[in-house]
A and B are shown apart, each in its own frame.
Chain A
Amino acid sequence: MKKIGILLLVIMNAVLLSGCWDRVEINDIAIVIAVGVDKMDNGDICLSLLLPVPKKLSSSGSGSSGGGGGEGNGSTLVISESGKSIMDAYRKLQGKLPREILFSHIRFIIIGEKLAQEGVAGVLDFFSRPRQSNLRAHILFTRENIDEVLGGEPGIEQSVAEMIREEGEMGIGAGIDLKDFINMLNEEGVNPWAGQLVKLPLAVETKKNEKTEASKPKKSYFSIRGAAVFDKDKLVGWINYDEVRGVLWLRDEVKRGVGAVNVDVPEEKGGGKMGMRILEAKTRLQPKINEDVLTIHVYIEATTVIYDNSSKLDLSDPKIIYDAEKMAENRIKGRTQSALDKLQKQLQSDVLGFGTAVYREYPKEWREKYKDNWHEEFPELNVEVACKVSIPRVGFVTNSLTRKEDEIIK
């Protein structure tokens, strides 16, 4: 009996004295869904947080007066503070907020151009070290004003954070998350890259109408279009949308089902356009050292289906399909070539993982010869791109709907 009493006492002490210390209710935390970091002109670091305001989130069944909801901007709050370091800014922010900041749910981290040029290692450390870190958050860079991005129009989603995360998951642009970025930063022979957020008009103007334009404020939204290219943790430059597609081809990151290849049919074959959707894509890097000359062979294999066809080509003819395949191959080659040109000649940063491929194929040569001066080797590298596209299906309609039989070029 006495023993049981002592045991109970020990258990009670262990539970009651040690328990509850880090307990915090949901209505006492400030859930951060997006973070922006940039360097200010005076050299301080500015940390901005995007917080949803729970009482304004539309929730059915709650007995609140039910105003607010819907308009979007009211349901989130952007709060920012500057400090000597990111930790300093964070401490000041925590002082500003009545609730405990929770970083576990950040959907993306956006970093301004100025800070990125000086190096992002410190920022990444802050977001990956604590247990609240969310390594699946997308990392993005922008030339725009960070507060404007966070306070932007959420579109059909509930918040900007959700909108941009969903876009990143789509896989059309560069959807790099924190984990990928850190991996690229630490891996031998590859430099990190990440998506670039740009400001776009919400709707494309089809007709100039000055009257309505004056009365309506022009709406804009942010989208992942280009990408930021790094050398180690420092930003060296930006690439545009077409070059991003090329990089994705080379990095074997073209996701099945979403990408498209648009082919211009040359005039001598009747002109027009043909659009294809990528079903499957596979890229293989094969470095070869031949008499001390390093060449990277890139083999791209893709399967596409034709989605639209405004040309005069007869798609029921296997020969024509063969021609279409060739055209698509050229198109992909062109894209990769433009990306390669930009990366090799202009930015001189290997975000494609060529170095890694060499390291895997020739570890000894890599260590002895290339590792230390890869930065100089990369721009001079020979790259051979071979592409093979197959079109197994043309869709329900064989030829273009409006073309007559005699117009079709056999």
Chain B
Amino acid sequence: MRRKQTIGTKIKKLLQKIIENIMQASDETESEFIEQSQSMMKQRISQNLEDNEAFLKNIFDKSSDIIFRNFQVGKNQAGLLIFIDGLTNSEAVNSDVLRPLIQYGNSANQEEILKESNIKNILQNQVITTAQLSGGKTNEEVVKSVLTGDVAILVDGMGQAIFASMRQWDKRSVEEPQVEPVIRGPREGFTESLRTNTSMVRRRLKTPTLKTELMKVGRLSQTDVVIIYLTGICDEKLVDEIRKRISRIDIDVILDSGYIEELIEDNPSSVFPQLAHTERPDKLASSLLEGQVGIMVDNTPFALIAPHPFFRMMQAPDDYYERALGMSLIRLLRYVFLFIALLMPAVYIALSTFHQGMIPTELLLSMAASRENIPFPAFIEAMIMEIFFEALREAGVRLPRPVGQTVSIVGALVIGQAAIQAGIVSAPMVITVSITGIASFTVPQFNQAIAIRVLRFMLMILAGMLGLYGVFMGFLVILIHMASLRSFGVPYLSPIAPLELSSLKDVFIRVPWWAMVTRPGFTVSEDIKRMKDSLRPRPPK
């Protein structure tokens, strides 16, 4: 009893020190203590079950969800089950592990069990009926596998542990993607469960060349991160680079793929996102087929896609499922609205305060009529309205759904009607702001749309100070920045700059599938052919 306690207090103190030191983050002592704790953890599992139990109970101190279940194998051999309540299928634990273990001893020969060497074999082969079984020899392995949801089985005198994998926890079922809806196309989206997600991609690409490399990231979270790609299509160097960048990450926790995105970007200070995220397995699969690499993270429905050049953001999944002509026109419309989202308020400010001569006369007169009683300069007016619109949008996201609708109605009324009637803002400004607001939602990638919004405000400030001159200087600066940007070695503006004619078939327009013979060259290195050349449907001869 005494011995048990001393070991326990020792470990406890040690762990506390480790945690303290991690908090302090002082490099020299930290590594020292980590070493010490690791040596403790790396110790072999003791032959004595009591020692093991004491050690583990100290590690899992004050954890109500961790279940320690003592039992007897056979007549008098003590055993211990450790698992986390809620992460395991308790019915299966009862029927496949606990019941056979307890019942086994009654019929078996006592002498056999006592032998250290064959306990494990007997239990594995004759007693436990779970499909996935594994073994471990150190304390560390026990702790890790218990935390990931396995059932750890320790038997007195065994000197090692058996892990039965019967993970089961409540998952959200597969639902329609919330932020990337389509009119035509698959309606299933990723969930928080990594395995469900990889299976969704696997279902779409039934080929052994689909690789899913598992990495664990996060000191405390031990989050599963899967690098998913197609060998033979994607560039091996790209996968190496991504693997290297992810393994560089040393962080306590990964709660969403957004953490990883920010930690592996090429240029972290740029407003433009250099990775895409998606909720859609079909989108991820199509990206893999174009030589991109997916990064899937456990506990989040958002997978990352790298590299991600700028023009990819104008491609929506629908483009490929609906007929080519219509979707090409819609894509062109998106480009028009991209410019509107970026430039319209800035150009409005510039024209109305610096270059009135450029506005058509009739329009100028009606603008003059509606601006007659407005107390603010056009720049301030635009800023008020834009900020108000962004606040409305943000409130719409944050507020509970039933309230959200009320907010948008009240907001629309306040902006649209009352503000104009009160003479605080002019009607043309409201029109400008609302068109801009709508335009920013035509960009399929939400994170790219945020970048456009940020830049819009920058251009508005330049327009308010320098007029059109400022707008075009700002636009030029943005263009230069984009041209210098790279996403995992791929120039951000490719395939426009550097120009790659064969890839233009899927940039401003989307050619029909029978003409989409090759994959885009800027990400794919080998296996460039997508299909046979002559797939264009024709009437029979």
Contacts and interface: CB of A to CB of B under 8 A. Distances in A.
Interface in A322-343: none
B462 interface: yes
Contacts, number: 98
B466 interface: yes
What size tier do the contact residues of chain A reach? 20 to 34
Nearest to B416: A61
Given A22-B354, A23-B353, A25-B377, 9 more contacts: A26-B352, A27-B371, A54-B368, A57-B366, A58-B369, A62-B420, A105-B361, A132-B357, A158-B365
Contacts of B361: 31, 33, 105, 107
B268 interface: no
25 contacts: A15-B466, A19-B466, A19-B470, A20-B465, A22-B354, A22-B467, A23-B464, A24-B354, A25-B371, A26-B356, A26-B368, A26-B371, A29-B368, A55-B369, A55-B373, A57-B369, A59-B366, A59-B369, A59-B427, A61-B370, A63-B420, A104-B358, A105-B364, A132-B357, A162-B362
Contacts of B377: 23, 25
Interface of A: 15-16, 18-20, 22-27, 29, 31, 33, 52, 54-55, 57-59, 61-64, 102, 104-105, 107, 131-132, 134, 158, 162
Contact of A16 (B366, B369, B373, B465): B465
Interface in B420-457: 420-423, 427
A394 B365 CA distance: 45
Contacts of A61: 370, 420, 427
B15 interface: no
B465 A63 contact: no
A390 B377 CA distance: 61
A26 B421 contact: no
Contacts of B462: 15
Which 5 residue pairs across A and B have the least CB separation, nearest first? Answer: A104-B357, A19-B465, A59-B369, A54-B368, A57-B369
A19 B364 CA distance: 23
A62 B465 contact: no
A57 B377 CA distance: 21
B367 interface: yes
Interface size class of B (residues with CB under 8 A): 20 to 34
Contacts of B368: 26-27, 29, 31, 52, 54, 57
A86 B40 CA distance: 98
A63 B357 contact: no
A23 B354 contact: yes
B420 A15 contact: no
B365 A31 contact: yes
A174 to B, nearest CB: 22
A29 B377 CA distance: 13
B414 to A, nearest CB: 15
Given A61-B427, A62-B369, A134-B357, A27 B421 contact: no
A134 B353 CA distance: 18
Nearest to A22: B354
Contacts of A23: 353-354, 377, 464, 467
Q: Which of B354, B364, B464, B467 has the most CB of A within 10 A?
A: B364
Nearest to A57: B369
A26 B378 contact: yes
B91 interface: no
Given A27-B374, A54-B365, A57-B366, A102 B420 contact: no
Interface in B328-373: 352-354, 356-358, 361-362, 364-373
B466 A104 contact: no
Given A15-B462, A15-B470, A25-B353, A63 B371 contact: no
A18 B420 CA distance: 33
A24 B372 contact: no
Contact of A102 (B357, B374, B421, B423): B357
Given A62-B420, A63-B422, A26 B427 contact: no
Contacts of A59: 366, 369-370, 427
Q: Which of B354, B420, B466, B467 has the most CB of A within 10 A?
A: B466
Nearest to B428: A26
B466 A18 contact: yes
B364 to A, nearest CB: 6
Nearest to A33: B361
Nearest to B353: A23
Nearest to B422: A63
A105 B378 contact: no
B431 to A, nearest CB: 10
Contacts of A31: 356, 361, 364-365, 368
A27 B427 contact: no
Interface in B371-409: 371-374, 377-378
Contacts of B369: 54-55, 57-59, 62
Nearest to B374: A27
A26 B366 contact: no
